[in-house]
Amino acid sequence: MPQYAQYAQNHFLINPALAGLENYADARTGFRRQWAGVTGAPTTFYVTAHVPVGNDEFVIEPASTRFSYGRRRREPTLPDPHAGVGVTMVRDQAGPWTSLTANVAVAYHYPLNDEWQLSGGLSGGITQHSLDFDRIVLAQSQDPAVGQGKLNSTRPNLHAGVWLYSSQLYAGLSVQQLWPSRLRFRTDYDWQGKLIPHYFLTVGYRLALTEDWEFVPSFLLKKTGNTPLSVDLNLKMNHLNNVWVGLSYRHRDALVAWAGARVAQKMTVSYAYEYALSVLRPSTSGTHELTLGITLGNRDHYASPRYFW
């Protein structure tokens, strides 16, 4: 499945329990070009959006004529129990293989006490997998195992997750492709593949350094089948929720640097660059990922616990 560098800015990408977390609607789009310079390297385009349901703080209002730099920020007030809904669309291509996914997510947020909330979410939809034989370069042009043109195989998918959070700490566990199934592309040769679950565990903590600056360390563990455990270590600096920079280390795979800013009252932009540490390092100039975001709802977004991470 696709890999992301900026999931710490959009946890909804990997965990449906985030749907409706904020007291506003959150929409994001991103493009990732992995291993630039490598023929057939993965490229990923995605769109996510989610909104709270039953949260009285969520009211669509017109944007203010004066841009605020967030100095009105205050400690968040956790909302009453409420639901959330969201959608995700992802197009991922690697060589001759393309997948197009459309999912709908639902979540429910329940306060455990004055400090902590717990949410659970499910996301389901379909994925169309395409195998384009015309993009396969053969050492011998006549190979009976390779057909011509593009073949498609459509399968259902199911994701699930839980998210425990306060204004200072969050922890999440999720699984994608919870519904394992087989893919089959029939030509003169029977091409088969298998979809298997992907597991994600993440924990982060917010440390206030000054009135304006916050430091957020976090980690992400990823596991899929018999592959080695993937470990990400992240360090993020946040200035008034308007400028943020960060560094990540993916064990034996990449170093990542990212930076972002609020460019208008309700718009954000963020860019990440990955420097490969794997055996691909001599062949690639790196990985690039660009994300744009927009929010709609309560002007005082700083009551949301999300913006304290």
C-alpha separations of 143 from 78, 96, 136, 160, 187 in Å: 62, 16, 11, 41, 12
CATH topology of domain 7-138+146-308: Porin (2.40.160)
Q: What's this model's pTM, rounded to 2 decimal places?
A: 0.89
Q: Going residue by residue through the chain (309 aa), what tens digit of pLDDT does each one get?
A: 999 999 998 999 999 999 998 878 899 999 999 999 999 999 999 999 999 998 776 665 544 333 333 444 555 566 789 999 999 999 999 999 999 999 999 999 999 988 899 999 999 999 999 989 888 888 777 777 777 788 888 999 999 999 999 888 999 999 999 988 888 776 666 677 889 999 999 999 999 899 889 999 999 999 999 999 999 999 999 988 789 999 999 999 999 999 999 887 788 999 999 999 999 999 999 999 999 999 887 555 444 545 445
Euclidean distance between CA atoms 138 and 131, whole angstroms = 15
Contact (Cβ atoms closer than 8 angstroms) between residue 252 and residue 278: yes
Euclidean distance between CA atoms 106 and 123, whole angstroms = 6
Q: Where do we find the tokens 């385009």?
A: 45
Tally of CB atoms within 10 A around 268: 19
In the chain, where the domains are located = 7-138+146-308
Euclidean distance between CA atoms 109 and 92, whole angstroms = 30
